[in-house]
């Protein structure tokens, strides 16, 4: 029984770690996309 609980806990920790890294990666990419679009528009206006 203890082995099943530790396996469940391991899976839970692995899933939450994945979700945390995925969320930060998504925020990073969305921020990068906003900055890229802003820079692109600024270049278009200046040229």
pTM over 0.85: no
Q: What gap in Å lies between CA 36 and CA 38, rounded to an integer? A: 5
The pLDDT assigned to 9 comes to 92
pLDDT tens sequence across 4-36: 899 899 988 888 888 788 888 888 889 999 999
The pLDDT assigned to 1 comes to 65
């Amino acid at each position: 029984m203890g082995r099943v609980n530790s396996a469940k806990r391991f899976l839970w920790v692995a899933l939450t770690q994945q979700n945390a890294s995925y969320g930060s990666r998504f925020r990073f990419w969305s921020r990068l996309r906003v900055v890229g679009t802003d820079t692109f528009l600024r270049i278009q206006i200046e040229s």
